[in-house]
């Protein structure tokens, strides 16, 4: 098998730079993402390098994915040794890591006895499973439960079922008709929820902290109200923690933290993905209690790859590392400090989030489109951040981010905003 030892050698990209590679990208990859910003070639910790050799501080973590940063030695070791032992078995078989991860997730979710886990490969797939679970809460022949409630601003993924739960018209419209019965209610309005939910509703699907709309936590009391309303009506309470889960907020799950206002909330189902595998693709649906866990019967759902030995080993390694290194507390501390400092940066008007899931808005006097300009200026200056809205920025860095690293960004931010404002043809408001 020749001298080839790395994947990079297989594509003979050595010596090529961002520009040539992106031209090749545009000639070979589907255009759904537009042209990516850079070609990244390696990383370590919170740092990545592009094909031109330029270094970046990664404050986005692959969108809340790289919890342990890049090329974490422990995760790399566990994944490599698992792949070298047994990589894939199909779901005619199971593996110790699959069982172990299911047990671990149930423990971290403080799930009651009878609770169960289904493994998928992504966030949208975890939500597809949740959608099918909701359909099985079918009601009776006289009163079928045909409705599913989601919220305005919700993002639940891009496959057809998850897309039906997603609110954004621009994502939905080109693909209609979508699976039916989904209604979107005003964000954070418990009265609207109370009014909508009755015995025709199969499930209410919520992100405790909406991520894609710019990191927007449910208002105080909403989650508790949603739990009471759904329990009363016999509807499932399904929490999409694809972005907020797996330690990102300083708790294993956001529903265990601030957004629940110190209440002990037991949902009916929770979905996870993004940070769970530390960069290795894996998704999960956790169902709480035996009644809900029995809704999907043998043969009613499946996946070829879901929960394979490598993916579940990656997730076990990630969770173990987060726990053993105290990274939840670290994320909570660094996140609180960072949010506090962000709030006093000129031009920043609102800071939201929990732990290291952070969104902030720039002054409304800036022209719309300022946020993408800040992202651009940040990239030039060696920082990876993201603009989920025209005046909104998001940070979801590796949970190992240090205060010093965060401080580097904070020191640079005022000038980035000024540069972006100038590019947009406007002075600081």
Ligand X SMILES: *Cc1c(COP(=O)(O)O)cnc(C)c1O
CB 238 within 8 A of CB 267: yes
The residue sitting closest to ligand X, measured at its beta carbon, is 123
Site for ligand X contains 156 (CB under 6 A):
yes
* Tokens (6 digits) for 10: 């297989």
Q: Compare residues 21 and 68 and give the one whose CB is closer to ligand X.
A: 68
Between the CA of residue 279 and those of 251, 274, 327, what are the distances in Å? Answer: 19, 8, 16
Which listed range, 69-77, 120-128, 358-366, 417-425, lies at the site for ligand X (CB under 6 A)?
A: 120-128
Q: Which of residues 410-429 bind ligand X (CB under 6 A)?
A: none
Backbone angles phi, psi at 76, to 5 degrees: -60, -45
Site for ligand X contains 268 (CB under 6 A):
no
CB 45 within 8 A of CB 398: yes
CB 208 within 8 A of CB 254: yes
Is there a binding annotation on residue 240?
yes
Distance separating the N- and C-terminal Cα atoms of the chain: 62
**Which DSSP state fits 308?**
-
Site for ligand X contains 122 (CB under 6 A):
yes
CB of 93 to ligand X, least distance (A): 25
Is there a binding annotation on residue 94?
no
Site for ligand X contains 69 (CB under 6 A):
no
CB of 411 to ligand X, least distance (A): 29
Which listed range, 92-100, 154-162, 396-404, 406-414, lies at the site for ligand X (CB under 6 A)?
A: 154-162
Site for ligand X contains 58 (CB under 6 A):
no
Site for ligand X contains 373 (CB under 6 A):
no
Give the count of beta carbons closer than 10 Å to the beta carbon of residue 215: 26
* Tokens (6 digits) for 317: 């390694």
Q: Which of 157, 250, 275, 388 binds ligand X (CB under 6 A)?
A: 157
Site for ligand X contains 249 (CB under 6 A):
no
CB 97 within 8 A of CB 313: yes
* Tokens (6 digits) for 96: 């110790």
Give the count of beta carbons closer than 10 Å to the beta carbon of residue 45: 18
Is there a binding annotation on residue 204?
no
Is there a binding annotation on residue 268?
no
* Residue 46 exposure: Cα atoms within 13 Å on the Cβ side: 23
Q: Which of 242, 270, 332, 378 binds ligand X (CB under 6 A)?
A: 242
Site for ligand X contains 211 (CB under 6 A):
yes
Site for ligand X contains 119 (CB under 6 A):
no
CB of 235 to ligand X, least distance (A): 20
CB of 183 to ligand X, least distance (A): 18
CB 130 within 8 A of CB 287: no
**Is residue 377 within a helix (H) or strand (E), and if so which, with residue range?**
helix 370-380
Site for ligand X contains 238 (CB under 6 A):
no
Is there a binding annotation on residue 140?
no
Q: What DSSP string runs through 226-276?
A: HHHHHHHHT-EEEEE-TTTTTTTTSSSSGGGSGGGTT-----SEEEE-GGG
Site for ligand X contains 243 (CB under 6 A):
yes
Which listed range, 86-94, 215-223, 239-247, 333-341, lies at the site for ligand X (CB under 6 A)?
A: 239-247
Site for ligand X contains 214 (CB under 6 A):
no
Is there a binding annotation on residue 155?
yes
Is there a binding annotation on residue 123?
yes
CB of 59 to ligand X, least distance (A): 17
How far is 384 from 56, CA to CA, in rounded Å? 6
**Which DSSP state fits 280?**
B
How far is 318 from 20, CA to CA, in rounded Å? 35
Site for ligand X contains 240 (CB under 6 A):
yes
Positions that interact with ligand X (CB under 6 A): 122-124, 127, 155-157, 207, 211-212, 240, 242-243, 273-274
Binding residues for N(2)-acetyl-L-ornithine: 158, 303
Binding residues: 123-124, 155, 158, 240-243, 303-304
């Amino acid at each position: 098998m020749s001298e080839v030892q790395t994947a990079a050698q297989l594509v003979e990209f050595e010596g090529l730079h961002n520009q040539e590679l992106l031209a090749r990208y545009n000639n070979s990859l589907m255009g759904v993402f537009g042209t990516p910003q850079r070609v990244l070639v390696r990383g370590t910790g919170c740092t990545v390098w592009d094909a031109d050799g330029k270094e970046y501080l990664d404050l986005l973590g692959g969108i809340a994915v790289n919890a342990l940063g890049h090329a974490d030695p422990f995760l790399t070791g566990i994944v490599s040794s698992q792949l070298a032992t047994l990589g894939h078995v199909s779901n005619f078989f199971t593996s110790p890591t699959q069982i172990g991860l299911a047990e671990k997730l149930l423990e971290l979710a403080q799930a009651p006895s009878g609770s169960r886990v289904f493994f998928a490969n992504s966030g949208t797939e975890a939500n597809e499973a949740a959608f099918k679970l909701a359909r099985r809460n079918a009601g009776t022949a006289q009163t079928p439960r045909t409705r599913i409630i989601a919220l305005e601003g919700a993002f639940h993924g891009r496959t057809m079922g998850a897309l039906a739960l997603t609110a954004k018209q621009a994502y939905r419209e080109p693909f209609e008709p979508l699976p039916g019965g989904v209604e979107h209610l005003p964000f954070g309005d418990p009265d609207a929820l109370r009014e909508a939910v009755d015995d025709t509703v199969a499930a209410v699907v919520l992100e405790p902290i909406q991520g894609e709309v710019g990191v927007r936590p449910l208002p105080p009391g909403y989650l508790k109200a949603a739990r009471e309303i759904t329990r009363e009506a016999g509807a499932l309470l399904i929490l999409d923690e694809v972005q907020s889960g797996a330690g990102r907020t300083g708790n294993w799950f956001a529903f265990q933290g601030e957004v629940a206002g110190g209440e002990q909330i037991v949902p009916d189902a929770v979905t996870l993905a993004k940070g769970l595998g530390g960069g290795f693709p894996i998704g999960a649906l956790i169902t709480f209690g035996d009644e809900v866990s029995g809704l999907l019967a043998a043969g009613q759902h499946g996946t070829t790859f879901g929960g394979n030995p490598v993916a579940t080993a990656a997730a076990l390694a990630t969770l173990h590392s987060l726990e053993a290194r105290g990274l939840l507390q670290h994320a909570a501390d660094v996140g609180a400090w960072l949010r506090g400092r962000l709030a006093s940066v000129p031009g920043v008007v609102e800071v939201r989030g929990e732990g290291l899931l952070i969104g902030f808005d720039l002054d409304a006097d800036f022209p719309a489109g300022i946020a993408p300009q800040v992202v651009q200026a940040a990239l030039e200056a060696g920082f990876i951040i993201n603009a989920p809205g025209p005046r909104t920025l998001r940070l979801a860095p590796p949970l190992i981010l240090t205060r010093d690293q965060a401080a580097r960004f904070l020191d640079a931010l005022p000038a980035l905003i000024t540069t972006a404002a100038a590019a947009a043809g406007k002075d600081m408001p």
